[in-house]
Structure 1
Amino acid sequence: MTIALYDLVGEDAGRPFSPHCWKVRMALAHKGLEADAVPTRFVEVASVEGGTDRTVPVIRDGDSVVQDSFAIAEYLDDRYPDRPALFGQPGGRGLARFVEGWSQRTIHPFIASVAILDIHAMLDDENRRFFRESREGRSGRPLEAMQDGRTPERLAEFGKALEPLRATLKRQPFLAGDAPMFADYIVFGAFQWLRIASPFVVLEGSDPVAQWFERCLDLHGGLGRSVPAAV
C-alpha cells in the first residue's frame, strides 16, 4: 500500500514548500518507499486525518498515522528496518536531534526574515489572510516588518552562523559522511524551503554549503529539482 503524505502547498498545488515536509519527502525516497502527496493548504492542516490540532507533515501508512517529521523518520526506520537506514548506528537519532535543533534555531529564523513576504505571496486569498493573522498575532508585528534580514550585515551574520556546516562539508560530501542520512535532509529542507519560496540568494555558488545543497538536489533521481526554484 502506498504511503500518503500530507504536504503543505500554496495556491499552486505543484509547489510544496514546507521544510518539514521536504525532510519527509527525502526520507521516503531514501527508504525507497512509494508515497502519494496530498496537497494541503494552511487552513486545512489542523483537520488532516480527522485531527483538531494537526501540523504537517503527516503520513498515513496503512492503519498508522504519524505526525511530525522527526517522528515520521523514526517510524520509517523502525517499520522498514530492511531498507536503507536514516539514522545509522546507535546514537544517530540523538545526533540528528541536535542538527534539527540547531537548524530550527539558526537557519529557519533567518529564512523567515528574508522570505516571509514571498511565502505570503504564494498563497491564495483565504490562506494569505490566515497566514498574516496567525504570524502577526504571534509576533505582534506586521509581516512587512518581519522581513528584515535582507541587509549586508544580516547576510554576513548568517554566513558566520553557517561555519559549522561549512567546516564539515569541506571535509566530506554530506553531513553524515560519504552518503546522506536524515541529518542532511533536515538542513536540506530548510534551504529547499527558501529555494522554492523566494528568488533571494543567501549562498555564493562557491560556498561548500551551496555545493552540498546542489548534491542534495540531485539525490533520489533529482527529487529536489522536481519543483523549480522561485524566479
Structure 2
Amino acid sequence: MAATPENPIIFYDIVAKDGSYWTPNPFKTRLTLNYKGLPYRVKWVKIEDVEPLMKEMGIPPTSKTFPHYTLPMIADPSSEPDGKPTLVSESFRIAEYLDEKYPAPKYPIVIPPGTRVLQKIFAEQYAPSIAMAPIPAIVSGLPAAVLDEASTEYMYRTRGKETFNPVSEETSAKVMAEAREKWDGFALTIGDGPWITGDTVTFADFLIGGLLFFWRRIGGGDEGKLWKELATWQDGRWAEYWKLVEAIENKSSCLA
C-alpha cells in the first residue's frame, strides 16, 4: 500500500528552537519527499533526543563515528492493514528505498539507473570536503540561530564548547577564500547545469541543496554575510541554484 494523505509517511526531523527545521541531512529527505510528491507528516525531535529515540525504536547506528545515531528517518506505512511500518534511516538509503517503493513513471526518481555508485561516491568521498569548507567561519552562529538552552548545552557537551568559538576576521577571510577555491573547482567539474548532472534532478542536488540551506539557516539568511559572499561565487551560480532548490522545498507534500 502506498502512502496516502490518510496514512502518510512519517518523517523524523530535528526541530529548531522556533519550531522549524535546520539540519542539512534531513533537508535532503524533505526534498526527496517533496520532489516525489509523497504525502508525509513530520515528527519533530530535539537533537539531544535523537539517540534515545532511535535506540528505543530499535534502529541501528547510522554512523561508526560520533554521532552514532542521526536523522533523518522515515516510517513508511505497511501494505498490510495491521502491519508495522518500514523504518528507514540515513538520507541516501531513504532515497534508494523511496525510489524502489514509489518508482517511475508514476513518481520521479532521484537515483536514476546507472548513477547509484557515482552518487554514493560523490556523497561519501567528495561532498564532505566542500561541505566543511566554510564551517569554521560560521559555526559560532549555530547555537543562537537554532538551539534552545537544553540543545545548546547538549552540543557544547558532546562537540566541545570551543567548537563554537568565533574566529577572527582574518581567519574567517582565509577560510572563505579556501572554501571559494574548492567550490570553484567543484563548479568546473560539474559543468553548466542547471543541476549537478545537467538537466536532471538527482539526489546529489539535494545534498548540495542541504548545504546551502544549512549555511543560510545558521548564517543569517539572505542578509547574512556568508550568503552575500557565497551568492557572488561563480558569477552568482549558487544563488540561482538555490532558487531551484527552494522551489522544490516550497512545493511541499507535507501535511498539516
User: What is the TM-score with the length of structure 2 in the denominator?
Assistant: 0.76
1:131 and 2:155 correspond:
yes
Residue type of the alignment partner of 1:197: I
Root mean square deviation of aligned Cα: 2.4
* Structure 1 position 180, deviation (Å): 1.4
Unpaired segments ≥5 residues, structure 1: 224-231
SS class of match (1:175):
coil
* Structure 1 position 32, deviation (Å): 1.1
- Whether the aligned pair in 2 keeps the contact of 1:112 and 1:147 (CA below 8 Å) is no
| Residues 147 and 35 of structure 1, relative CA distance in 2, 3 Å threshold | farther
Q: Which moved more, 1:158-167 or 1:46-55?
A: 46-55
What is the CA–CA distance in structure 1 between the aligned matches of 2:96 and 2:149, rounded to whole Å? 36
SS class of match (2:103):
coil
Q: What is the percent sequence identity of the aligned residues?
A: 22
SS class of match (2:133):
helix
SS class of match (2:160):
helix
- Name which of 48, 71, 85 aligns with 2:93: 71
Superposition pairs for residues 145-156 of structure 1, below 5 Å? Answer: 151-156=172-177
SS class of match (1:36):
strand
Q: Which residue of 2 aligns with 1:227?
A: none
What is the CA–CA distance in structure 2 between the aligned matches of 1:187 and 1:165, rounded to whole Å? 11
Q: Which moved more, 1:95-104 or 1:120-129?
A: 95-104
Q: Which residue of 2 aligns with 1:203?
A: 230
Unpaired segments ≥5 residues, structure 2: 1-6, 62-68, 78-84, 221-225
What is the CA–CA distance in structure 1 between the aligned matches of 2:120 and 2:49, rounded to whole Å? 28
Residue type of the alignment partner of 2:137: V
Q: Which residue of 2 aligns with 1:47?
A: 52
The structure number with the bigger radius of gyration is: 2
User: What is the TM-score with the length of structure 1 in the denominator?
Assistant: 0.84
Residue type of the alignment partner of 1:100: A
Q: Which residue of 2 aligns with 1:119?
A: 142
- Whether the aligned pair in 2 keeps the contact of 1:113 and 1:148 (CA below 8 Å) is no
SS class of match (1:38):
strand
Per-residue Cα deviation, 1:112-134 (whole angstroms, up to 9, x for no partner): 31232221112111111001111
